[in-house]
Amino acid sequence: MKLLKDDIRVFAPATVANVGCGFDVLGFCLGNVGDEVILRRTEGKEIRVTKIQGAEYLPFESDKNVASVAIRAMLDELGVSLGLEVELYKNVKPGSGMGSSASSSAGAVYALNEMLDKPFLNLDLVRFAMKGEEAASQKAHADNVAPAIMGGFTLVRSYNPLDIVSLDFPKDLHAVVVYPQVDVKTSDASKMLRKEIKLQQAITQWANVAGLVSGLSKSDYDLISRSMEDVIVEPIRSILIPYFGEAKEAALSKGALSFNISGSGPSVFSFTDSEETALDVEKAINEVFEQHQVETRSFVSTISPEGARVLE
Amino acid sequence: MKLLKDDIRVFAPATVANVGCGFDVLGFCLGNVGDEVILRRTEGKEIRVTKIQGAEYLPFESDKNVASVAIRAMLDELGVSLGLEVELYKNVKPGSGMGSSASSSAGAVYALNEMLDKPFLNLDLVRFAMKGEEAASQKAHADNVAPAIMGGFTLVRSYNPLDIVSLDFPKDLHAVVVYPQVDVKTSDASKMLRKEIKLQQAITQWANVAGLVSGLSKSDYDLISRSMEDVIVEPIRSILIPYFGEAKEAALSKGALSFNISGSGPSVFSFTDSEETALDVEKAINEVFEQHQVETRSFVSTISPEGARVLE
């Protein structure tokens, strides 16, 4: 195995998973929001997480940190031992619903693949990063790591075999993501879901999924807007997000195409058809939370065709 | 209301609804298989069905026949009284699963709209034809009438409000439809369905729906093939269709992209990426049924961008 570099720094983007009606299968990559991951070769064979800036409370143990777990899965498949130091600069806050753990694990395996002679394809990297997701949440999800690695708008069509589809989407589609700084545990949010749902609701949901994918492929913003309704999960999970309804109303009144939960929350996001509208919508959503003394962080971005990337 | 013609003859295409994972929401229009509907102006204000060739056992009563019911809905909305004679030349057999009732009701309202000065848009015609579907099956479905009127590959995204989306699809996509002449009642097939389903299965289904719509829009035949799996309805309904598994195996072994139930059966259909493969697949499926002394009628067609149309 050829080692091209002794150290590398990568940008590991934030991602929005679920995407309205696309619960558990759709996700997209933000262009200008994300973490940095640094890998540095060291003597020996250990993988050591030496720094987690911005979220020092995350585990440093290499069998628990999502980045080192993902790296270990990759090295194991290569049959290679390598000493590595991992530094994580977290801008995407854990628990925000913007794919924080995916950002770390995707960034780590992307970085290692670039350090080596690119032995793996993106689909393999997704597979390794999923091991990190598993360490973080007991579920080897791909809906955040796939867009974090591959960029764009992704569909996890199947896990067995793993089948990730890159969807077409309009270049002008903007996302406004607002993170209200309240605590919502993904595991709590998941426990609220029923294991059985009505067939009629499921049909409504997949009709919307079909509409969304068609709207994205045809740049039909109105169809995207009509289709971005989750009738199954959001009515339940939105209860956990304070002022959700008020913020939704504010966003739609400013021309947002949609307003939904990002991941399992508490972050929320809107699609818009221009940057101008996106900035208006961002302001309107922020104002709602501010009125209620909830601090926010917010972002406006197109959907980035590129996922993780090397920083010089 | 202007009457442009005193009589008209239209081709009313057969359609395939459900389309694998797209249960209840997707449908497409066949190019060369269908019925003929003739409308003729008469004195008075009565709508009379005077001929049903090929299915004489269907109701002639104007409040029961799907064509006259659909026509009545259209005239009522116009606030117009008109004497009409309706002749149906049924090639699409009732109970075949190829949209037989939709063909009659869609053909009838399309014909009347053409006789008049086209007072209605396609979406309105779908709405009237749905009244015919309701007369036939107690449910005002649009998944057959929408492609019968609008042509192409359609998505019924929503009923309230009625929202029909024309999906992009590859021009070379062929459909093989085989009707094994056994009796399967739609109402029996519907009764077998559970009202509640597992959330995990629903997620699998909408992941496939997303893959199918994406594959259709990108002419990605392999993705179409991978996505054409219905994990919810077909495992149950296929039990009613004799030799389903055997026919599926035969079709796939000859290069079919998929093999699924058309509508609620007993017709089955495969997608292929060429006419040549379609003819091979048609032969293979027919052979399976013939071996078991089940007579079939079979058709090979591209997906017609045009729905009902006037015949000169």
Report CB contact under 8 Å: A157, B227. Answer: yes
Q: Which two tokens stand for residue B281?
A: 């697949």
Interface probe, candidates A156, A157, A216, A219, chain B, greatest B C-beta count within 10 A: A157
CA distance B52 to B67: 11
Q: Does residue A147 have a cis bond before it (omega within 30 degrees)? A: no
Report CB contact under 8 Å: A163, B226. Answer: yes
**What's the confidence (pLDDT) of residue B276?**
98
CA distance A151 to B109: 47
Report CB contact under 8 Å: A202, B202. Answer: yes
Least confident of A109-118, A175-184, B210-219: A175-184
Say how many C-beta atoms besides its own lie within 10 A of residue B87's C-beta.
17
Q: Which two tokens stand for residue B298?
A: 């079979």
Smallest CA–CA separation between A73 and chain B, in Å?
26
Say how many C-beta atoms besides its own lie within 10 A of residue A200's C-beta.
13
Which one is predicted more confidently, A286 or B81?
A: A286
Smallest CA–CA separation between A10 and chain B, in Å?
30
Q: Are A184 and A97 in contact (CB under 8 A)?
A: yes
User: Among all chains, which residue has been given the structure tokens 């700084």?
Assistant: A181
Report CB contact under 8 Å: A22, B158. Answer: no
Q: Which two tokens stand for residue B301?
A: 């067609």
**What's the confidence (pLDDT) of residue B140?**
87
Is residue A184 pLDDT above 80, yes or no? no
Closest CA to A198 of B201, B227, B240: B201
Helix (H) or strand (E) segment spanning residue B34: strand B26-42
Say how many C-beta atoms besides its own lie within 10 A of residue A123's C-beta.
15
Chain B residues with CB under 8 Å of A24 CB are 203, 207
Q: What is the mean pLDDT of residues A4-18?
A: 95
pLDDT band at residue A45, thresholds of 50, 70 and 90?
Answer: very high
User: Among all chains, which residue has been given the structure tokens 């579920």?
Assistant: A139
* Cα–Cα distances in angstroms (integers) from residue B129 to residues A230, B28, B66, B95, B107, in the given order: 29, 16, 8, 18, 9
Give per-residue pLDDT as tens, A187-215.
666 677 889 999 999 999 999 999 999 99
Is residue A253 pLDDT above 80, yes or no? yes
Q: Give the catalytic positions of A in this structure.
A: 133, 186
Residues belonging to chain A with any Cβ–Cβ distance to chain B shorter than 8 Å: 21-26, 155-158, 163, 165, 167-168, 193-200, 202-214, 217-218, 223, 226-227, 232
Closest CA to A126 of A103, A108, A149, A107: A149
Paired strand residues for B164: B156
Is residue A182 pLDDT above 90, yes or no? no
Q: Give the ranges where chain B is alpha helix by DSSP (H).
A: 66-78, 100-115, 122-137, 145-150, 186-191, 199-218, 221-227, 234-237, 244-253, 275-291
* A195 closest CB neighbour out of B26, B198, B212: B198
* A208 closest CB neighbour out of B22, B157, B212: B157
**What's the confidence (pLDDT) of residue B190?**
67
Q: How wide is the angle at C-alpha A145 spanned by C-alphas A136 and A12, nearest 5°? A: 95
**What's the confidence (pLDDT) of residue A193?**
81
Report CB contact under 8 Å: B199, A196. Answer: yes
Phi, psi dihedral angles at B219 (to 5 degrees):
50, 40
Q: Which two tokens stand for residue A161?
A: 């075999």
CA distance A223 to A238: 23
Q: Are B268 and B259 in contact (CB under 8 A)?
A: yes
- From first CA to last CA, the distance across chain B in angstroms is 23
**What's the confidence (pLDDT) of residue A190?**
67
Query: A160: left (phi > 0), else alpha (psi -120 to 50), else beta?
Result: beta
Mean pLDDT of chain A: 95
Closest CA to A92 of A288, A263, A290, A248: A263
Helix (H, G, I), strand (E, B) or coil at B87: strand
Integer Rg of chain B from CA? 19
CA distance A163 to B222: 12
CA distance A81 to A45: 6
Report CB contact under 8 Å: A157, B208. Answer: yes
Chain A residues with CB under 8 Å of B123 CB are none
CA distance A281 to A269: 10
Which amino acid, B302?
A: T
CA distance A163 to A155: 8
Smallest CA–CA separation between A59 and chain B, in Å?
31
Say how many C-beta atoms besides its own lie within 10 A of residue A137's C-beta.
15
Smallest CA–CA separation between B297 and chain A, in Å?
31
**What's the confidence (pLDDT) of residue B186?**
56
Report CB contact under 8 Å: A206, B211. Answer: no
Report CB contact under 8 Å: B209, A204. Answer: no
Q: Which two tokens stand for residue A169?
A: 């989407």
Q: Which two tokens stand for residue B180?
A: 């094994």
Helix (H, G, I), strand (E, B) or coil at B37: strand
Q: What is the ipTM of this complex?
A: 0.96
**What's the confidence (pLDDT) of residue A189?**
64
Chain B residues with CB under 8 Å of A158 CB are 204, 207, 226
Helix (H) or strand (E) segment spanning residue A153: strand A153-159
Closest CA to A180 of A282, A272, A268, A92: A268
CA distance A17 to A132: 16
Interface probe, candidates A158, A162, A213, chain B, greatest B C-beta count within 10 A: A213
Q: Is A162 exposed, middle or buried (0-12, 13-18, 19+ CB in 10 A)?
A: middle
Smallest CA–CA separation between B234 and chain A, in Å?
14
Is residue A123 pLDDT above 70, yes or no? yes
DSSP one-letter code for B49: E
Report CB contact under 8 Å: A202, B207. Answer: no
Closest CA to B40 of B13, B79, B7, B4: B7
Give per-residue pLDDT as tens, A73-98.
999 999 999 999 999 999 999 999 99
Q: Are A16 and A99 in contact (CB under 8 A)?
A: yes
**What's the confidence (pLDDT) of residue B235?**
93
Which parts of chain B register pLDDT below 50? none
Q: What is the mean pLDDT of residues A56-78?
A: 95
